[in-house]
């Protein structure tokens, strides 16, 4: 960046000294008032509506009712009810992320490397864009109409095959019901984010492997999967965080019969069901810690993965 | 390699079944409201419900305002960071990733605590203030997608040359942004806008906790009280999402194909 003309219409504040030095932070001193004014709304918005609310909750998690510093709220997270809700949340998020990653990878491989007709590929990609955004309450309605007690699939299986899935122990308001529903947005998201990585697997690699006498299985075992591996892990953590923060689908599907963390937090914000405002903040902090851990894994792993996909 | 192709077809067929069956089932369910046979009465009920019209209109308006605020905040920041302040890029990119780390429910919890009626900035004290807070919350939710769309748009045009050319012709920075840069990235901005709309229209958590009469809480309420109308609403929502995504696909055809000379 060496635009030496100052293009700002407003008053110029950059000193002449900034021009002669070549310090690493030169851009900082060369930036004019106009530059800062343009970036300012973004920075102010981020601080007011992203950073401050989060930090404020963190501070609250370590304060008692009188405002004194305490670890009590964090310790209170250890009650059986809260531990159970974190456990079911983590299980549903992990199951839907892992299954979503495996199935999404299989579909992406099928449409990109399986030599299916080109229109199928673009149709699947478009549908993935739609389905990955078709979450929330309408998704819950769709699965109730499909696998609820009166849902089409439930009724068909019962009348045609005489197999009642509810008598067999299935329930849409359960761990597996929720996981199956979450897959509807997890799989398409996986297809969308893994597709560029699969495109990055160069054709020459499989040709070289084949020339050296490798079977397709050996190619995937020793070349394909090791190259994709960091990317897969990254996708897994992104899917995990995606499911962990979701509330609307579960809320519309199960009411409050399945106490995942976001639903517990929702009830706490609505009516202080835990009877301790600080504990609500601690719950929120716990959620951020879990999703942050998942995303840190994603960022670290993505940085490693990008070396191979130039 | 023939077996590979058969395997690909099997995976595709299984995937198609998983994704199409719920849509078919929902559609079939939405037609079952009368005992005597399939009718579209559930749709008629939905569309004639004044609450449907009011909440849908409200969410659409909030969505459009979210897009306007988002574009006004993100476009200048992305442009100046790319052109003159590259050192800010890591900070901006970290901020745009924050909404993926901080779930919406945590964010709105923070808003309620920080901007309640007895705070230094009592946004939730008035209706207009709460509407504003809702819009800001949605801008935050859409930030990762909006920023990425706009930044991708800026990458495909030669920002530096365009700016220098406009400067030589005597344009100031505001003119450059509005009359040179913005028209060139309009397609990217629009695809970010449609994605934002798809996210905002059915959003439940923030609207519900701020007690705003939005489409998401309305959906939840219908789901708790009616049998067949929810299915009709699910189909309507799906068609709306499809339309928004279809617009993005359509717009992609008009996007500039030439890569920038410098990055």
Q: Is B236 helix (H, G, I), strand (E, B) or coil?
A: helix
| Per-residue model confidence (pLDDT) at position A2 | 39
Q: Which residue of B has its CA nearest to A27?
A: B85
Residues with Cβ within 8 Å of residue A262, at least 6 apart in sequence: A89, A244, A245, A246, A247, A250, A287, B103, B105, B205
> Percent of chain A, pLDDT > 70?
87
| Cα torsion B54, B244, B18, A229: sign | negative
Residue A6 in any domain: the answer is no
- The kind and range of the H/E element at B30 are helix B2-30
> From CA A109, how far away is CA A113, in angstroms rounded?
5
Q: Count other Cβ atoms within 10 Å, centred on residue A98.
A: 15
Asked whether the beta carbons of B107 and B99 are under 8 A apart, the reply is yes
Q: Is A63 helix (H, G, I), strand (E, B) or coil?
A: strand
Mean pLDDT, to the nearest integer, of B55-70? Answer: 96
More reliable by pLDDT, A309 or B121? B121
* A55 and A81 inside one domain: no
Chain A CB contacts of B174 under 8 Å are 9
Tens digit of each residue's pLDDT (9 = 90 or more) over A102-128: 999 999 999 988 878 888 888 898 899
* A87 and A228 inside one domain: yes
Closest chain A C-alpha to B77 CA, distance in angstroms: 4
Q: Is A271 helix (H, G, I), strand (E, B) or coil?
A: helix
> From CA B88, how far away is CA A131, in angstroms rounded?
34
> From CA A307, how far away is CA B220, in angstroms rounded?
45
Tokens of B114: 């920080």
Burial of A239 (C-beta count, 10 Å sphere; 0-12/13-18/19+): buried
Residue A189 in any domain: the answer is yes
> From CA B70, how far away is CA B147, in angstroms rounded?
9
> From CA A145, how far away is CA B228, in angstroms rounded?
9
DSSP code of A223? I
Closest CA to B220 of A111, A42, A136, A195: A136
Average pLDDT, chain A: 83
* A261 and A216 inside one domain: yes
Write the CA distances from A175 to A187, B55, B90, B155, integer angstroms.
18, 32, 39, 44
Residue A25 in any domain: the answer is yes
* A189 and A42 inside one domain: no
| Per-residue model confidence (pLDDT) at position B2 | 57
Q: Do A114 and B173 touch (CB under 8 A)?
A: no
Closest chain B C-alpha to A264 CA, distance in angstroms: 11
| Per-residue model confidence (pLDDT) at position A17 | 41
- The kind and range of the H/E element at A52 are helix A52-61
Q: Count other Cβ atoms within 10 Å, centred on residue A37.
A: 14
- The kind and range of the H/E element at A62 are none
* A216 and A295 inside one domain: yes
Tens digit of each residue's pLDDT (9 = 90 or more) over B160-191: 889 899 999 988 888 888 888 888 888 889 98
| pLDDT beyond 60 at A6 | no
| Cα torsion B32, B35, B38, B44: sign | negative
Tens digit of each residue's pLDDT (9 = 90 or more) over A26-61: 666 666 777 788 889 999 999 999 999 999 888 888
Q: Is A156 helix (H, G, I), strand (E, B) or coil?
A: helix
> From CA B178, how far away is CA A1, in angstroms rounded?
22
Residue A31 in any domain: the answer is yes
Closest chain A C-alpha to B116 CA, distance in angstroms: 12
> From CA A147, how far away is CA B25, in angstroms rounded?
9
Q: Looking up tokens 């299986």, which residue turns up?
A: A157
Mean pLDDT, to the nearest integer, of B40-60? Answer: 94
pLDDT band at B253 (very low <50, low <70, confident <90, very high): confident
| Per-residue model confidence (pLDDT) at position A24 | 59
Q: Answer with the one of A33, A61, A89 that is the final residue of a domain.
A: A61
Domain hosting A156: range is 77-305
| Per-residue model confidence (pLDDT) at position A186 | 95
* A149 and A225 inside one domain: yes
| Per-residue model confidence (pLDDT) at position A270 | 87
Burial of A234 (C-beta count, 10 Å sphere; 0-12/13-18/19+): buried
Q: Which of residues 205-234 of B touch A (CB under 8 A)?
A: 205, 209, 216, 219-220, 223-224, 230-231, 233-234
> From CA A173, how far away is CA A285, in angstroms rounded?
27
CB nearest to A9's CB, from B80, B102, B173: B173
Q: Is A116 helix (H, G, I), strand (E, B) or coil?
A: coil
Chain A contact present for B6, CB below 8 A: no
pLDDT band at B44 (very low <50, low <70, confident <90, very high): very high
Residue A1 in any domain: the answer is no
Asked whether the beta carbons of B238 and B27 are under 8 A apart, the reply is no
Asked whether the beta carbons of B81 and B92 are under 8 A apart, the reply is yes
* A127 and A211 inside one domain: yes
| Per-residue model confidence (pLDDT) at position A12 | 41
Q: Which of residues 150-179 of B touch A (CB under 8 A)?
A: 160, 163-164, 167, 172-174, 176-177
* A141 and A50 inside one domain: no
CATH code where residue A114 lies? 1.10.3720.10
| pLDDT beyond 50 at A11 | no
| pLDDT beyond 60 at B92 | yes
B50-252: CATH topology = MetI-like fold (1.10.3720)
| Per-residue model confidence (pLDDT) at position A28 | 64
> From CA A98, how far away is CA B248, in angstroms rounded?
29
| Per-residue model confidence (pLDDT) at position A71 | 87
| Per-residue model confidence (pLDDT) at position B230 | 92
| pLDDT beyond 70 at B256 | no
- The kind and range of the H/E element at B1 are none
> Based on C-alpha coordinates, what's the Rg of chain B?
22
* A24 and A157 inside one domain: no
> From CA B145, how far away is CA B214, in angstroms rounded?
22
> From CA B131, how far away is CA B138, in angstroms rounded?
11
Mean pLDDT, to the nearest integer, of A171-182? Answer: 89
Chain A contact present for B45, CB below 8 A: no
Q: Do A153 and B86 touch (CB under 8 A)?
A: no
Give the total number of structural domains in chain A: 2
Chain A CB contacts of B219 under 8 Å are 136-138, 141, 252
pLDDT band at A9 (very low <50, low <70, confident <90, very high): very low
Residue A133 in any domain: the answer is yes
* A248 and A289 inside one domain: yes
Chain A CB contacts of B191 under 8 Å are none
Closest chain B C-alpha to A88 CA, distance in angstroms: 17
DSSP code of A306? T
> From CA B41, how far away is CA B64, in angstroms rounded?
30
DSSP code of A307? T
Tens digit of each residue's pLDDT (9 = 90 or more) over B118-142: 888 888 888 899 999 999 999 999 9
* A175 and A266 inside one domain: yes
Question: What distance lies between CA A69 and its chain's CA centroid?
Answer: 33
Chain A contact present for B182, CB below 8 A: no
Closest CA to A48 of B200, B197, B95, B207: B95
């Amino acid at each position: 960046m060496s635009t030496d003309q100052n293009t700002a219409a407003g008053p110029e504040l950059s000193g002449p000294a900034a021009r002669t030095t070549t310090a690493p932070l030169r851009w900082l001193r060369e930036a004019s008032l106009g530059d800062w004014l343009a970036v300012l709304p973004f920075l102010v918005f981020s601080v007011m509506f992203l950073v401050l609310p989060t930090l404020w909750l963190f501070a609250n998690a370590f304060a008692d009712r009188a405002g004194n510093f305490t670890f009590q709220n964090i310790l209170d997270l250890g009650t059986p009810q809260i531990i159970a809700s974190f456990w079911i949340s983590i299980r549903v998020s992990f199951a839907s992320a892992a299954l979503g990653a495996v199935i999404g990878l299989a579909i992406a491989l099928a449409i990109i490397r399986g030599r299916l007709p080109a229109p199928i590929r673009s149709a699947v990609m478009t549908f993935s864009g739609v389905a990955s955004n078709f979450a929330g309450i309408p998704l819950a309605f769709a699965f109730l109409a499909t696998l609820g007690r009166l849902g089409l699939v439930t009724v068909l299986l019962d009348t045609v095959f005489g197999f009642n899935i509810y008598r067999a122990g299935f329930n849409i308001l359960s761990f597996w019901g929720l996981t199956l529903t979450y897959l509807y947005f997890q799989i398409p998201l996986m297809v969308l984010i893994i597709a560029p990585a699969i495109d990055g697997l160069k054709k020459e690699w499989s040709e070289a492997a084949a020339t050296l006498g490798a079977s397709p299985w050996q190619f995937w075992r020793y070349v394909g999967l090791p190259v994709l591996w960091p990317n897969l892990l990254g996708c897994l953590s992104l899917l995990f965080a995606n499911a962990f923060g979701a509330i609307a689908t579960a809320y519309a599907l199960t009411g409050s019969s399945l106490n995942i963390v976001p639903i517990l937090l929702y009830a706490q914000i609505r009516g202080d069901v835990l009877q301790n405002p600080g504990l609500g903040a601690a719950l929120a902090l716990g959620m951020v810690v879990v999703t942050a851990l998942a995303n840190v894994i994603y960022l670290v792993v993505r940085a490693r993965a990008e070396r191979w996909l130039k | 390699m023939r077996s590979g192709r058969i395997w690909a077809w099997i995976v595709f067929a299984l995937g198609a079944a998983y994704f199409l069956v719920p849509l078919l089932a929902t559609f079939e369910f939405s037609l079952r409201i009368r005992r005597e046979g399939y009718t579209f009465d559930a749709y008629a009920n939905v569309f004639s419900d004044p609450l449907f019209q009011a909440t849908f209109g409200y969410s659409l308006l909030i969505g459009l305002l979210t897009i306007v605020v988002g574009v006004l905040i993100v476009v200048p920041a992305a442009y100046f960071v790319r052109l003159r302040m590259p050192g800010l890029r890591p900070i901006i990119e970290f901020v745009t990733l924050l909404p993926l780390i901080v779930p919406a429910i945590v964010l709105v919890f923070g808003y309620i605590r920080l901007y309640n009626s007895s705070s230094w900035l009592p946004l939730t004290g008035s209706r207009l203030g709460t509407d504003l807070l809702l819009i800001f919350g949605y801008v935050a939710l859409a930030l990762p997608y909006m920023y990425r769309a706009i930044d991708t748009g800026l990458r495909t045009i030669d920002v530096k040359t365009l700016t220098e050319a406009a400067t030589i012709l005597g344009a100031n920075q505001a003119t450059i942004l509005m009359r040179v840069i913005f028209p060139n990235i309009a397609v990217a901005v629009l695809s970010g806008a449609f994605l934002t709309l798809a996210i905002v229209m059915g959003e439940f958590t923030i609207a519900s906790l701020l007690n705003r009469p939005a489409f998401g809480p309305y959906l939840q309420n219908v789901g708790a009280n009616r049998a067949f109308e929810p299915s009709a609403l699910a189909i309507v929502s799906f068609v709306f999402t499809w339309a928004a995504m279809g617009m993005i696909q359509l717009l992609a055809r008009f996007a500039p194909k030439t890569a920038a000379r410098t990055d």
